Chain A
Amino acid sequence: MEKKYWQSIEEYKEQNKGTDMNKEPFPEFSIEGLDESEIKGKSSRRDFLKMLGFSVSAVALVSSCQTPVRKAIPFLTQPEELVPGIPNFYASTFFDGNDYCSILVKTRENRPIKIEGNDMSPVSRGGTSARVQASVLNLYDDARLKNPYKDGAETDWATIDKDVKANLAALSQSGRKVVLLTSTIISPSTKKLIDEFIATYPNIEWITYDTLSFEAIRKAHELNFGQAVIPEYNFEKAKVVVGFSADYLGTWLDPVAFSKQFSKNRKILKGNTEMSRLYQYESRLSLTGSNADYRYGVKPSDEVTVLLNLYNEVAKATGMSTYSVNSSPVDVSKTALDLLENKGHSLVVSGTNNLNIQLIVNAINNILGNYGSTLCIDKPMNLKQGSESAMARIVNEMNEGKVDGLLLYNVNPVYDYHKANAFAEGMKKVDFTLSFADTKDETAELCQYIAPDNNYLESWNDAEPVKGEFSIVQPAIRPIFNTRQFQDCLMKWADISGDFSDYLENNWKVILGEDGFVSSWNKVKYDGVYSLPQDEMQGNSGFREQKLSDSESGNGLELVLYEKIAMGTGKYANNPWLLEMPDPITTATWDNYVCVPVKYAEQNGLVHENVVTINGAFELPVLVQPGQPEGTISIALGYGRTAVGKAGNGVGKNAFQLMHISDGYADVAGTEVTMEKVEGKTYELALTQMHHTMEGRPIARETTLQEYIKNPYAGNEEHLKDEKNNVTLYSKVDYDGIQWGMTIDLTSCTGCGNCIIACQAENNVPVIGKDQVRRRRIMHWMRIDRYFSDDIDNPVVFHMPVMCQHCDNAPCENVCPVAATNHSDEGLNQMAYNRCIGTRYCINNCPYKVRRFNWYEFANNNNFDYNMNSELGKLVLNPDVIVRQRGVVEKCSLCVQRLQAKKLEAKRENRPLRDGEVQTACSQSCPTDAIQFGNLKDEKSVVVSNNKEERMYHLLERLHTLPSTSYLTKIVNKEA
């Protein structure tokens, strides 16, 4: 029989139709060129040799292919601006509804990997915050939505567009109410677009909702000045700042800008002996309180009394009428005297969202003549525009069934509204619900439609944080997923042609003028910021007196809710960097907890890690916190998310429902609660520091301004002694050209911890999870040591950033048996990871304990399921820095990759390095310029001039390690 060859399965089947397979077995395989015996499976010597040849080559092939092949597809057409290995920076703006910051986005091979501050911004002035630094990781969050959703199932944009337009049109025609609920929007173009959108669908009501409202400040200014604004604060001009529960260096309003201003006023360098004085009255130990010269613990219910007493003192001195008031629990006369001495150069702020309090604050500022100098209502801040009454009304209307459509942009009220349940209930009665959330958050979960917004690094936008000060948002990457910018959605649904980048450009034509628009627009995009010409500031014109009133002190245990530096209001609760960032005050990571005053804890038998129930509603662990005022406890907001992503789900407890509501204003502090100990139950907290005093050792050195003026070496006498005693037989190492060095000014450092995250982003520092942090293995290359001293109920707090000190006489270097850590000829103490065998001797012998060991494989390990275990999350890694293997020691390299890049740049341009050109991640990000970096061999550099200060000392200099990093003593503006 002639053999038939089949060429496809179909043909094979066709051929075999009707034939008996058993009778005429088809050969198992049929390959041209094989003879009979081979087909039948008999093997000959030739086969044997063939098999041998095949297996040998196969083994060789397989064994040489241990590394998995990764596909790298080159560009077909190389983009002009993209050079592999060279980063591109784009000016942009971070604004998430709460915090604003002008930034530069560093991209490598077209992916954003790092956020840096934009020096050109007159508002944020190159500073950043931890959340800004960490925001780049949100871009690569696995929890982000990859497609739009309809009724809980993925769909495409065409469906969304069709459905939404149909819904909106139907609702519009029948005149039924649709609510557009957004966070504060500071973009003039977006606002204009929303107005146009509403013009298309006039049944839409636009409500702005802030998680933490500042409405009382606006209302007070409306009553006092006729303008519902938040004035621009200027801490730089203020010689005396009195804060009432306003953590303006940590979380209040615009902490990046305020930190910058605050620090400018407190630089005791080059003979300057002028510095501002901070008074802080607060109901928990905040970051600002920890930096205040005078700090007073005050219960939330006493704040009015204290403020009114202060008002009376100030008013009395200026011959104005006073109010009758209860006696203040703390003495305010000194504060009043200082304020009066600095009329027009002082500032009183309160973070309490209470109309009466804000009216008193305004009245005091008015008497002191601060309007027009440290406060400016003509140039208000556009942040925090939310209206609480409107929000409350909408929730009611929703529950009454009066709202038929709900569009949610950048808000998550089901999680963070104090009446979250009412909101969620109300949502059920709304026919058409849509969320623009980029993750399936608590609110979006309840929506019919989710139209995921782009990440801000994928978006076009603009921002006007302060009137007349603009900042541009421009994309640094194309949308990674099938998402669409909120504004583009609105344009599509309102049938406005083009996309939002065109719209933005057209809008800017109005601002910049048609003439030469292309070049001016390019300049705006290049700089990232644009300022309108400023008018002269007006004085305190037309202040309308308002009646002020006192209130009674409470008797119960008062709860203070607060935003943690890292977590804020919980928007980034799935960001592992932020989850693992130690709180600057408690040093706790990964949880929220109840801060309990020391005395209360003693009286009630509470110790660290006990568990208590709050109002019988939820359980939280106890953290006994020095400085927590008597009669108060505090709990961080932003925890207890249930739908945020795998890292953040179920971390901590949600405390938003415990907000204090009075007169329609929701404030974080003042709710009276009951607290019960849960007997026999403990909960483990992961703190990065367990010992809180310096044991009398000269570590963080301190003096008062008065002492300093008398003797510049005050507080630093130890340094002179050690200098004298430091004798050595060996000749001092000398460097030729460059010796990198760093100075850290403890007077400026507020301890905000922004540098920790900047370092983590720059250097691919792994996240290790709560359990490992608790085992004291945190991998951060720099830490901020926090020490308490003096009174345990109102301690003096020191923040001290510590990273590798790059000792010239490094104890770690001479004990490494394999010379894996050694000294560069530019004074860097460097680590050769490839050489390290992990004896950990260097860790033991480092007196600063800044070396970190890779206890496990932290990347690509399911036990550490954070960004380094996700294909998406790994995109944030800096390609210039190796991801360290298990078993090697790592530590601060002074960002050697950044130094190298700038050196190359200077070399290419054939010039010496300029001072300040080279910045480490920490010094670049520092909002108070406490960390300075430069060349110790450059006589004109800032670090050299700082090192000439009498305040300069080295940490543990008695050990004669000769560090390249030095510290400047902390100067407190306090009378002895």
Chain B
Amino acid sequence: MYNTRVRGVLIKGNKSFADVSRDIIKPMDDKTPMWWWVTAFLATGALFWGVWGFYNTISTGIGEWGLNNNVAWGWAIINFVWWIGIGHAGTAFSIFLLILRQKWRTSINRAAEAMTIFAVMAAGLFPLIHMGRIWDGFFIFPYWNTRGPLWDNFNSPLFWDVVAISTYLMASFVFWYMGMIPDFATIRERTTSKMKKKIYGILSFGWIGNARGWLRFETAALLLGGMAAPLVVSVHSIVSMDFSVSVVPGWHTTIFPPYFVIGAIFSGFGMVLTLMIILRKLYKFKDYVTDGHLDAIARILTFISLIMGTAYLTELFMAWYSGNEYELFTFMKNRVTGEYTFAYWTMLTCNAFIPQLFWFKKIRKNITIVFIISIFINIGMWFERYVIVVTSLSKDFLPATWATYEPTITEIAIFVGTLGLFLLGVLMFFRFVPTVAISEVKSVLKETTTLKSFTDE
């Protein structure tokens, strides 16, 4: 039972049910604001640059990237893992916080889930464009064929990746969409535009809000949630196996699956924090996404950051303790010291040290600083992938083959393009979908508020 005297009020501003609906749907009814157009313009520009990057890669060859005989994976894989990591936030929020009975998640989970979808979509582009022969990419699916039949290599982590990511994308999408059905119905009921009525009518699958509907809805949510929960763990575990299954020093470690999952949740929460701060500012949702919400996320980040730090230390310890000279070289001479010192220490600072500032209440309460730190986390997690991918490959077993790697303009364009895609998706979401789960907020409104009309009853 949620005790408001202990845990404070979740939704502020003495909202009634009607207030909630009105507040959240209001941005969708309003005229499209200027900032939306400006940002959408920028995002589209970025997207087009990315399209050029795609075009250049496909028409000319992967040679347009900075890769070489030794470092055969670069920014594409870094960004892939980074986006997948960010894509963990939604499901983690919805499922884990649901299991932990954290009511405060209701204000945030919708946005987090939307973020997941767009991030996973952005991530999914990288394995595609990364292929040398994208036109033969369908080989990766185990379809019945006349070549023997020739099957995929079920031992390959890349094959597991395909399965894991497509499953995750589908499950996340269904979960996210299903949660929106009652809200779409709400919009359908409220809107005056015939067009919108029609569209949201279709989108809401004819939801009428009857008891049977709600019953089925809750059951389905529960089932889907139960099925999606292992995916959060599995998807990044499998991504981590792209690395840990190999023999490359710095990749071949058993710590990778938990370390990657935690890292993913870390970056996902970081990105949620970034987006929610922007959202509550733009849409004046401070009553729904309260300082308390941000405080809770910050606390979680502090804790995860400690786990991350432990993981980094464990890696270093194991490099030494294993007695493996190649491993030790990679960690001590190519990360802690050496050519890639900057990337390694940026990673460590952003992920393990800076979030520790959240121990101080003053910092947690200062939204500007919280926002800046959330950005640092995003950067730090990008560098973590950079450190893993590039440092290990650039100096592996035979020194004669050692090579360095620098991205080219094409690789940068593709990354910026996916940022544009993500941003555009988020903007669409802000504009056409209720950004906060109306029905879920309403469901927790009663027991988490001090509103007279409720408490008096």
Binding site for B on A (CB under 8 A): 689-697, 699, 772, 775-778, 783, 785-787, 800, 802, 811, 814-819, 835-841, 843-845, 847-849, 851-857, 885-889, 955-956, 959, 961
Whether A847 and B156, one on each chain, are in contact in the complex, defined by CB atoms closer than 8 angstroms, is no
Q: Does B139 contact A (CB under 8 A)?
A: yes
Whether A838 and B156, one on each chain, are in contact in the complex, defined by CB atoms closer than 8 angstroms, is no
Whether A785 and B400, one on each chain, are in contact in the complex, defined by CB atoms closer than 8 angstroms, is yes
Q: Which residues of B contact A841 (CB under 8 A)?
A: 72-73, 156-158, 242, 246
Within 8 A of A (CB), among B137-168: 137, 139-140, 150-153, 155-159, 162
Q: Which residues of A contact B155 (CB under 8 A)?
A: 814-815
Q: With A777-B69, A817-B159, A847-B396 in contact, do A695 and B329 touch (Cβ < 8 Å)?
A: yes
Within 8 A of A (CB), among B379-435: 393, 395-403
Q: Which residues of B contact A694 (CB under 8 A)?
A: 399
Q: Which of A776, A836, A847 contacts B397 (CB 8 A)?
A: A847
Whether A888 and B133, one on each chain, are in contact in the complex, defined by CB atoms closer than 8 angstroms, is yes
Q: Which residues of A contact B153 (CB under 8 A)?
A: 814, 816-819
Whether B68 and A815, one on each chain, are in contact in the complex, defined by CB atoms closer than 8 angstroms, is no
Whether B246 and A843, one on each chain, are in contact in the complex, defined by CB atoms closer than 8 angstroms, is no
Who on chain B is nearest to A857 by CB? B61
Q: How far is the CA of A855 from the CA of B61 in the complex (A)?
A: 6
Who on chain B is nearest to A854 by CB? B132
In the complex, besides A819-B156, A835-B139, 15 extra interface pairs with C-beta distance below 8 angstroms are A691-B400, A691-B402, A697-B397, A777-B68, A777-B69, A815-B156, A816-B153, A817-B140, A817-B162, A837-B136, A838-B62, A839-B131, A849-B401, A853-B67, A959-B397
Within 8 A of A (CB), among B235-281: 242, 245-248
Whether A844 and B393, one on each chain, are in contact in the complex, defined by CB atoms closer than 8 angstroms, is yes
Q: With A776-B69, A857-B61, A887-B132 in contact, do A837 and B140 touch (Cβ < 8 Å)?
A: yes
Who on chain B is nearest to A852 by CB? B69
Q: How far is the CA of A849 from the CA of B403 in the complex (A)?
A: 11
Q: How far is the CA of A723 from the CA of B185 in the complex (A)?
A: 70
Q: How far is the CA of A847 from the CA of B250 in the complex (A)?
A: 13
Q: With A776-B68, A840-B72 in contact, do A853 and B246 touch (Cβ < 8 Å)?
A: no
CB B75 to nearest CB in A, in angstroms, measures 13
Whether B132 and A775, one on each chain, are in contact in the complex, defined by CB atoms closer than 8 angstroms, is no
Q: Does B130 contact A (CB under 8 A)?
A: yes
Q: Which of A695, A786, A853 contacts B69 (CB 8 A)?
A: A853
Q: How far is the CA of A839 from the CA of B133 in the complex (A)?
A: 9
Chain B: interface secondary structure? Answer: loop
Q: How far is the CA of A856 from the CA of B157 in the complex (A)?
A: 26
CB B398 to nearest CB in A, in angstroms, measures 6
Q: Which residues of B contact A816 (CB under 8 A)?
A: 153, 156, 158
Whether B246 and A845, one on each chain, are in contact in the complex, defined by CB atoms closer than 8 angstroms, is yes
Q: Which residues of B contact A699 (CB under 8 A)?
A: 398-399
Chain A: interface secondary structure? Answer: loop
Whether B68 and A818, one on each chain, are in contact in the complex, defined by CB atoms closer than 8 angstroms, is no
Name 30 A/B residue pairs within 8 A (Cβ), A-sorted.
Answer: A690-B402, A691-B399, A699-B398, A775-B66, A775-B68, A776-B70, A778-B69, A802-B398, A811-B246, A817-B152, A817-B162, A818-B140, A819-B156, A837-B140, A838-B131, A839-B158, A840-B67, A844-B73, A844-B246, A844-B248, A845-B247, A847-B397, A848-B397, A849-B398, A855-B67, A887-B134, A888-B133, A889-B132, A956-B397, A959-B247
Whether B61 and A856, one on each chain, are in contact in the complex, defined by CB atoms closer than 8 angstroms, is yes
Q: Which residues of A contact B66 (CB under 8 A)?
A: 775
Q: Which residues of A contact B61 (CB under 8 A)?
A: 854-857, 886-887
Who on chain B is nearest to A863 by CB? B60
Q: With A777-B69, A847-B396, A849-B70 in contact, do A815 and B132 touch (Cβ < 8 Å)?
A: no
Whether A849 and B62, one on each chain, are in contact in the complex, defined by CB atoms closer than 8 angstroms, is no
Write the B111-131 contact mask toward A (1 if CB under 8 angstroms, else 0).
000000000000000010011
Whether A855 and B63, one on each chain, are in contact in the complex, defined by CB atoms closer than 8 angstroms, is yes
Q: Does B325 contact A (CB under 8 A)?
A: yes
Q: Which residues of A contact B131 (CB under 8 A)?
A: 837-839, 887
Whether A885 and B133, one on each chain, are in contact in the complex, defined by CB atoms closer than 8 angstroms, is yes
Q: How far is the CA of A843 from the CA of B162 in the complex (A)?
A: 20
Who on chain B is nearest to A821 by CB? B153
Q: How far is the CA of A841 from the CA of B136 in the complex (A)?
A: 16
CB B264 to nearest CB in A, in angstroms, measures 21
Q: Which residues of A contact B242 (CB under 8 A)?
A: 841
Within 8 A of A (CB), among B62-107: 62-63, 66-70, 72-73
Whether B132 and A695, one on each chain, are in contact in the complex, defined by CB atoms closer than 8 angstroms, is no
Q: How far is the CA of A786 from the CA of B398 in the complex (A)?
A: 11
Q: How far is the CA of A849 from the CA of B150 in the complex (A)?
A: 27
Within 8 A of A (CB), among B18-38: none
CB A687 to nearest CB in B, in angstroms, measures 11
Q: How far is the CA of A787 from the CA of B401 in the complex (A)?
A: 11
CB B386 to nearest CB in A, in angstroms, measures 15
Q: Which residues of B contact A777 (CB under 8 A)?
A: 63, 68-69
CB B415 to nearest CB in A, in angstroms, measures 18
Q: Which residues of B contact A783 (CB under 8 A)?
A: 400
Q: How far is the CA of A848 from the CA of B69 in the complex (A)?
A: 11
Q: Which residues of A contact B156 (CB under 8 A)?
A: 814-817, 819, 841
Who on chain B is nearest to A587 by CB? B400
Q: With A815-B156, A847-B247 in contact, do A787 and B133 touch (Cβ < 8 Å)?
A: no
Whether A840 and B63, one on each chain, are in contact in the complex, defined by CB atoms closer than 8 angstroms, is no
Whether B400 and A689, one on each chain, are in contact in the complex, defined by CB atoms closer than 8 angstroms, is yes
Whether B399 and A849, one on each chain, are in contact in the complex, defined by CB atoms closer than 8 angstroms, is no
Whether A819 and B150, one on each chain, are in contact in the complex, defined by CB atoms closer than 8 angstroms, is yes
Q: With A845-B247, A855-B63 in contact, do A837 and B132 touch (Cβ < 8 Å)?
A: yes
Q: With A690-B403, A818-B153 in contact, do A837 and B137 touch (Cβ < 8 Å)?
A: yes
Whether B139 and A837, one on each chain, are in contact in the complex, defined by CB atoms closer than 8 angstroms, is yes
Q: Which residues of A contact B399 (CB under 8 A)?
A: 691-695, 697, 699, 787
Whether B403 and A840, one on each chain, are in contact in the complex, defined by CB atoms closer than 8 angstroms, is no
Who on chain A is nearest to B324 by CB? A958
Who on chain B is nearest to A840 by CB? B72
Q: How far is the CA of A888 from the CA of B131 in the complex (A)?
A: 9
Whether B400 and A787, one on each chain, are in contact in the complex, defined by CB atoms closer than 8 angstroms, is yes
Q: Which of A837, A848, A851 contacts B398 (CB 8 A)?
A: A848
Q: How far is the CA of A854 from the CA of B72 in the complex (A)?
A: 11
Who on chain A is nearest to B127 by CB? A839
Q: How far is the CA of A848 from the CA of B397 in the complex (A)?
A: 7
Who on chain B is nearest to A775 by CB? B68
CB A168 to nearest CB in B, in angstroms, measures 55
CB B77 to nearest CB in A, in angstroms, measures 9
Who on chain B is nearest to A772 by CB? B63
Q: Which residues of B contact A802 (CB under 8 A)?
A: 398, 400
CB A718 to nearest CB in B, in angstroms, measures 11
Q: How far is the CA of A815 from the CA of B156 in the complex (A)?
A: 4
Q: How far is the CA of A785 from the CA of B152 in the complex (A)?
A: 35
Q: Which residues of A contact B248 (CB under 8 A)?
A: 844-845, 847
Q: How far is the CA of A574 from the CA of B73 in the complex (A)?
A: 34
Q: With A819-B150, A847-B397, A959-B247 in contact, do A856 and B63 touch (Cβ < 8 Å)?
A: yes
Q: Which residues of A contact B397 (CB under 8 A)?
A: 697, 847-849, 956, 959
Closest 7 CB pairs of A and B: A838-B132, A887-B132, A855-B63, A785-B400, A776-B68, A840-B72, A817-B158
Who on chain B is nearest to A849 by CB? B401
Q: How far is the CA of A693 from the CA of B63 in the complex (A)?
A: 29
CB B389 to nearest CB in A, in angstroms, measures 9
Whether A843 and B159, one on each chain, are in contact in the complex, defined by CB atoms closer than 8 angstroms, is no
Who on chain B is nearest to A885 by CB? B133
Whether B130 and A819, one on each chain, are in contact in the complex, defined by CB atoms closer than 8 angstroms, is no
CB A834 to nearest CB in B, in angstroms, measures 9
Q: Which residues of A contact B396 (CB under 8 A)?
A: 847, 849
Whether B62 and A855, one on each chain, are in contact in the complex, defined by CB atoms closer than 8 angstroms, is yes
Who on chain A is nearest to B247 by CB? A811
Who on chain A is nearest to B151 by CB? A819
Q: With A776-B69, A838-B131, A853-B69 in contact, do A818 and B398 touch (Cβ < 8 Å)?
A: no
